Amino acid sequence: MSLNQLNTFVAVAELGSFSAAARALEKAQSAVSHSISQLEKELGLELFDRSGRTPQLTDAGGSLLVEARQVLQQVSQLQNLASQWSETEEEQSFSLVVDMLFPVEPLVQLIGGLRERFPRLNLAVHSEARGAVTARVMDESGQLGVTGLLLPNVPIGIEVLPLGSIDLVAVVSPKHPLAQLEQPVSLNDLRQHTQLVLDDRSQLSSDQEIGVVGANNWKIGSQFAKHRFLLEGFGWGVMARHEVRETLENGLLKAFQPAIWNSPTMPLPLHIIHRSDRLPGTVAKRAIRLLKELFQARNEQKS
C-alpha cells in the first residue's frame, strides 16, 4: 500500500469518477484504475461498485475512506513539521528590537503569528529608546528593528522600510503649572519647566536633541517610569497617545499643545530596519509581512 494509492482512492471517492480523478491528479485514467485495483488487491476488499455508469463506494470503501483521509492528513502534518525542522538554525532563531513607544497589542499579535508559524522558534525581544534600536541592529543583537527615530543620517549598511505611524501627545499632571496656561503653550513657557525625556542607552543619538526644548531635562530609562513621574507632576513630557489614553480619560494627566506643533497631536513615523548585508531570513520576512499587515489594519480601524 502506498500514499499514492491512498491519494488516488480519496480523489476518486470525492470527485465521483476515475476520469475526474485522473484530470485532477494529472494522470492517465488507466493509471488511476490500475492504482485502485492494486489497492483493492492488497486490502482484499472491493472499494468501489463499478456496475453503474459511475463508481460507487461500497460499505467497506466508505468506512476506509475516513481512515484514508486521516492518514493523508497525518502525512501532511508530518511533512510540514519536517519542513520546519529542515530550516537552518539561523532561521529558527530570531531577535527583534522595538522602540519603547511601539504599541504592545501589535507586538503581541506579531509574536503570536510567528509562534504559530514557527512553534520551535528561539525568540528574543528587546525594547529600546531612540537610537538604541538602530545600535542593536548594527551590532547584530537584533536582526530586525522597529524604530521611531531615524537619525538625520541613517548609518551606512542599514536598510529602511516604512511601516506606519503612531500619535504623540504632550502631557502634564493637572496640578502642574503648565496645565493652567492657555493653549497652545509657548516655547518660552515650556523651557521654564523640567522636561522628562527617554535616555538613549547606546549614545548613538545622545547629541540629537530631537523634541527636547529645555535645558533642565530629566533622562528616564523606561516609559513606565516616565509615565509614573508625569503622574506625580515632576515635569512634562511627550508620550505615545496609546500609552496615556486611560490616564487622560480619567483626568490623571492633561494633554496640551506646544506652540511648535501644528495640531494637538504629532504623528511619529515608524520604520522597520535591518542590516543591508544580512538579507532577512524566513522568520524575518514573515515578521516584516505581519508588521505591515497589522499596521495596515490598525490604520483602517482609525479611519
Contact 235, 197 (CB under 8 A): no
**pLDDT of 300 over the 60 cut:** yes
Grid cell in block for residue 167: 500619535
Nearest-angstrom CA–CA distance, 29 and 122: 48
Burial class (CB in 10 A: 0-12, 13-18, 19+), 42: exposed
Q: 52 has which bridge partners? A: none
Nearest CA to 138 out of 154, 122, 153, 127 is that of 154
What's the pLDDT score for residue 120? 83
Flag the least confident range among 182-191, 195-204, 216-225, 268-277.
195-204
One-letter amino acid of 51? S
Rounded to whole angstroms, how far apart are CA atoms 64 and 104? 49
Q: Which residue has the cell 508530518?
A: 78
C-alpha cell at 50: 463499478
Per the CB < 8 A criterion, the answer to whether 198 and 177 are in contact is no
pLDDT at residue number 276 = 86
The predicted-structure confidence for 112-124, as pLDDT tens digits, reads as follows 999 988 888 889 9
Residue-level pLDDT at 216: 79
Identify the band that residue 161 occupies on the pLDDT scale cut at 50, 70 and 90: very high
251: Cβ contacts below 8 Å, ≥ 6 apart: 174
Which regions of 155-281 does DSSP assign to beta strands (E)? 158-172, 195-198, 217-220, 236-240, 254-256, 265-275
CA separation (Å) from 255 to 87, 122, 149, 233?
49, 41, 23, 13
Mean pLDDT along residues 43-57: 91
Bond preceding residue 106 cis, omega within 30 of 0: no
The letter for the amino acid at 133 is: V
Residue 49, C-alpha cell as written in the block: 461498485
Is it the case that residue 107 has pLDDT exceeding 80?
yes
Sorted by where each starts, the structural domains of the chain and their CATH numbers stand as 3-86 (1.10.10.10), 89-165+268-302 (3.40.190.10), 167-267 (3.40.190.290)
Any bridge partners for residue 201, and if so which?
none
Q: What is the pLDDT of residues 228-248, one digit of tens each?
A: 999 999 999 999 999 999 999
Give tens-digit pLDDT for 3-20.
999 999 999 999 999 999
**Count of CA atoms in the C-beta half-sphere (13 A) of 226:** 25
**In the predicted structure, residue 89 carries a pLDDT above the cut 60:** no
- The candidate with the shortest Cα–Cα distance to 130, out of 47, 220, 43, 67, is 220
**Please, what is the average pLDDT of the chain?**
87
As a residue count, the chain comes to 303
Q: Regarding predicted confidence, which is higher, 153 or 41?
A: 41
d(C-alpha 190, C-alpha 114), whole Å: 43
